[in-house]
Amino acid sequence: MRIITSGLAFSTHFLLTQAAPLLANNFGRPAQNATFDYVIVGGGTGGLAIAYRLAEANHSVAVIETGGFYEVENGNISVLVLKGKDFIMDEARCLVAENAMNYNRPTIGSLQAWSDSVNDSSYLWDNFLPYYQTSIKYTNPDQTFREMNASVPLITSENGTGPLQVSFPHWATPIASWAKQGLAEIGVGELHDLINGDLTGAQFSPLTLNPRDQTRSSSQTSFLDTAMRRRMTNLKVYTHTLAKQVLFDQNKTAVGVLVESGPSPEPFILSAKKEVILSAGAFQSPQLLMVSGIGPAKELQKFNISVVADRPGVGQDMWDHVVLSVGQQVNVETYGSLMNPAAAVKAKNDYLSPNHTGILTNDQSDFLGWEKLPSNSRSTFTNSTITDLATFPSDWPEIEYEISSAPFGTSSFSTPENVIDVGYIQPVLLTPLSRGDITLASADMSDAPLINPNWLTHPTDQQAAIAAFKRARQFFNTSAIAPILIGEELLPGQQDLPFDSADEEILSYLQANIGFNRHASCTCKMGKRDDGMAVVDSRAKVIGVKRLRVVDASAFPFLPPGHPQATIYALAEKIAGDILAGR
């Protein structure tokens, strides 16, 4: 089964993305060698943020991006088999990166754990918080356009003036207001917000969204477009350009990147006088390190790659957030309504109106809940599972609940004929112990790496997934949500998975119908320099070589709770500050 985003989602994201006019003098000239202070591989979330900060300080910067601007240019990356099915994992290849719009920060305790794991107090909550805040301009929701039962508590502590816009849509998913009561009935109470270090409870999620015109705010529309408007011609972007290899001198110092571009690829070199920075994501950053000679020596030798630095952790220790889904037909409006041509036209007109209102302002998953599983859900846990979960900080939630109008990930579910509106609760495992890995298929960056996510292979993950799935079914059985339900459960449904199914049957179903949040991370993990599996140190410098850093989710020491977008931006801001301070 392929993981494919629907045409409907594509059209929605098109409406939600709006870029400034592009200036020709911000583009690098292909097939010509050039020299810059910094060469950055990857024009996504972290790459464009750090590029902007370095260029703002009057350094010359090149950004290498395999894709183009925000459009459907996704390359499919690797094939794996899970419970007899084929999946295709993908990362966006464009100047935006593959992330959703939810903007959440992790917990105070998880950043304490980050600080401890890398022996660097700059990652403590109080010290790292300014890096979250400096990227964004936070705007409280305009309740004029939202229903009264979709109000959001005001936040007055966010005073950042960064280019990234964070706010709320003018239209709240109707099922969310009912879900708030349903979650409360099963013990997940209301949370004030999702950005102040506490993730225990439920609330509407802020999005990377421009409140003025309700368009998506991305690394391109914020950092890159700001650079273009400011005529920062010292920042050059090389689109449709593939990074083939990081180049080193005899002292193991990164001196540039070999790239190729064009329909008949022609190699050329972008040299770096100061540093090379990889921000190509959890799949391509480790792949590029390995083809450049940094990684497990045995893996490199399989492809006759000369070893520059033997770092066994490259491509290992991959974390991800797996997603489960339970769905029922509802009598409130969801994205399914857009299948009706008249409703779709109305939605378009609402969105294009002067106030930019209606369903198309929303990314369809704007209400989130978080919890540690309650005692009655843990009654069947083994002692080892209880011990494993206790290793996470006390404020680290075990499960996230995403309230949505579309199933995520790899489910083969199709909405029955004559059913329009379906609501979903989607539990997400936040304490995964199953670890994936990235290995090479060849020594050529043109060939996708091999990805083995290993989802739900650890016994603790299996028990947590079963418990979370039962909680999702419990949610749809609450009296609070009952008034909007129509008929019986659709996904998975009694026929496919009866309510009295044994845990073994539930696990088998979940393993065959798993989804994922595209939160792959930690494949170039951060750690102490004496940690043999660490790839980068706390300043994101690759251990064993000079003038090379990795700044993206692959550099996380672990995947903290919450959606990682905010933390990638914060990490980029921090490392940019380190570089400019000479650290």
Contact 121, 567 (CB under 8 A): no
Q: What is the pLDDT of residue 129?
A: 98
Residue 136: DSSP 8-state: E
Q: Which positions ≥6 away from 436 have C-beta within 8 Å?
A: 318, 319, 320, 451, 452, 453, 454, 455, 520
Q: What is the pLDDT of residue 409?
A: 55
User: Rounded distance, CA 305 to CA 318, Å?
Assistant: 23
Mean pLDDT in consecutive groups of 10 residues from the start of the chain, 583 residues: 30 44 67 95 96 98 84 31 44 50 97 99 99 98 93 94 97 96 98 98 98 95 95 96 98 98 90 99 98 98 98 98 96 93 95 96 94 98 98 99 80 78 96 98 97 97 99 98 97 95 97 89 98 99 99 98 97 99 96
563 carries an active-site annotation: yes
Q: At what angle do helices 459-475 and 383-390 cross, to 10 degrees?
A: 90
Q: What is the pLDDT of residue 13?
A: 38
State whether residue 144 is helix, strand or coil. coil
The dihedral sign for the CA sequence 120, 122, 125, 129: negative
- Binding-site residues for FAD sit at 564-565
- Binding-site residues sit at 564-565
Structural domains of the chain, with CATH: 1-101+216-319+436-455+521-583 (3.50.50.60), 137-207+322-431+458-513 (3.30.560.10)
Other CB atoms within 10 A of residue 69 CB: 17
Q: Which positions ≥6 away from 13 have C-beta within 8 Å?
A: 70, 216
Q: What is the pLDDT of residue 18?
A: 53
Q: Which positions ≥6 away from 536 have C-beta within 8 Å?
A: 524, 525, 526, 527, 542, 543, 549, 550, 555
519 carries an active-site annotation: yes
Q: What is the pLDDT of residue 289?
A: 99
Q: What is the pLDDT of residue 536?
A: 99
Closest CA to 32 of 223, 377, 262, 369: 262
Q: Given 13, 170, 321, 563, which residue is catalytic? A: 563
Contact 202, 367 (CB under 8 A): yes
Written as one letter, the residue type at 175 is: I
Residue 489: DSSP 8-state: E
CA distances, 279 to each of 88, 244, 283 (Å): 22, 14, 10
Q: Given 13, 59, 356, 519, which residue is catalytic? A: 519
pTM of the entire structure? 0.92
